[in-house]
Amino acid sequence: MPVLEKNSPNDVTTSSFLPQTDEFPNSYVAPGNFTRVTEFILTGVSDCPELQIPLFFVFLVIYGLTVAGSLIIITLTSVDSRLQTSMYFFLRHLAMINFGNSTVIASKRLINFFVKKKTTFYYECATQLGVFLVFIVAEVFMLAVMAYDCYVAICNPLLYMVVVSQRVCFLLVSLTYLYSFSTAVVASSAVFSMSYCSSNVINHFFCNIVGVIALSCSDTYFPETSDFISAKFILNFFLFQLMQFIQLFYERLRVPSLDMLSSWVQFD
C-alpha cells in the first residue's frame, strides 16, 4: 500500500488507505493526519478482469499503427532526397512528436493491463505529466507552423523560398520545442508543488493535470491559473490555424483552376 509521511520529518509510517464514503466510492483516504502521498493509483479504462486482454490488444494495435506510421514518415523524409523540403521537414518533426506522445502514454497503459495494483510513484507520475505536456504543446505549435507553411506556399509562392528558408525552418522548430519544454516545466512544477494528503486515486489511465489537481488538499489557485494561461495561449494558436485554413480556402476559390486556365489559353 502507499507509504505516507507524517507531519513530523523524522516519523514515517506505512498505512493502509480506508475507503471513503459513498460520495467518493473510487477513492481512498488515509486514516491519520498525513501530509504527503508517495504514489498514485490509476483507475485505468475498466476494472473488469474479462476486458483486460481485449483492451490490451486494442491499445496495442492502435499504438503499433501509430508507431509504424510515425517511423515510416521519419524514415522516408530523412533518406529520400526528393522530400528535403520545408513541408516534409515539419512533417518529420510532427511524426517524431506523435511517436513520443503515444509512447509516453501507451507504455504505462499496456503494462497496467497485466498488473493487479495499478500504481505509479510520485516522481514517475510527475515525469509522465511533464513529458506528455512537452509533446502535446509541441504538437499544437507544429501544426500551426505547418499551417503557416501551407499559407505562404499557396498565397505567396514567389516569395516562398525567401520567407520559409532553411534557417527560418530551424528557428520555428527550435522555438516550438523551447516553448513546449518551458511550458511543461512550469505547469508540472506548479501541479506537483502542492500537497496531496487525502485521496491518491487518479480517475484516468495516465497522470493528467485535471486528475492530479483534483487530489490536492492545498490551494490550487497558482497551478490552475498557470494552466488556464497556457491553455488560452494554445487556443490562440488553434484560432491562428483556423484563420490560415480559411484564408487558404478563400484563395483556392479566388484563383482559377488549371482546367479553366488551359481553356483560356486554347481560346486565345
pLDDT category of residue 131 using cuts at 50, 70 and 90? very high
State yes or no: pLDDT of 29 exceeds 80: no
pLDDT category of residue 4 using cuts at 50, 70 and 90? very low
To the nearest 10°, report the CA torsion of 145, 149, 150, 153.
170
Distance from CA of residue 82 to its chain's centroid? 31
Give the pLDDT confidence score for residue 30 in this predicted structure. 44
The domain ranges of the chain are 3-258
- How far apart are alpha carbons 101 and 108 in whole angstroms? 12
SS3 at position 137: helix
Length of the chain measured in residues: 268
Give the pLDDT confidence score for residue 169 in this predicted structure. 92
> Which CATH superfamily hosts domain 3-258?
Rhodopsin 7-helix transmembrane proteins (1.20.1070.10)
Element (H, E) at 39: strand 39-42
- How far apart are alpha carbons 31 and 9 in whole angstroms? 19
pTM of the entire predicted model = 0.74
The whole-chain average pLDDT of the chain stands at: 78
SS3 at position 202: strand
Task: Read off the pLDDT of each residue in 65-75 and give the average, rounded to a whole number.
Answer: 94
pLDDT category of residue 176 using cuts at 50, 70 and 90? very high
Which residues, listed in sequence order, are joined to residue 19 by a DSSP beta bridge? 28
Sequential DSSP letters for 42-94: E--S---GGGHHHHHHHHHHHHHHHHHHHHHHHHHHHH-GGG-SHHHHHHHHH
SS3 at position 120: strand
State yes or no: pLDDT of 65 exceeds 80: yes
- Residue 240 CB: number of other CB atoms within 10 A? 14
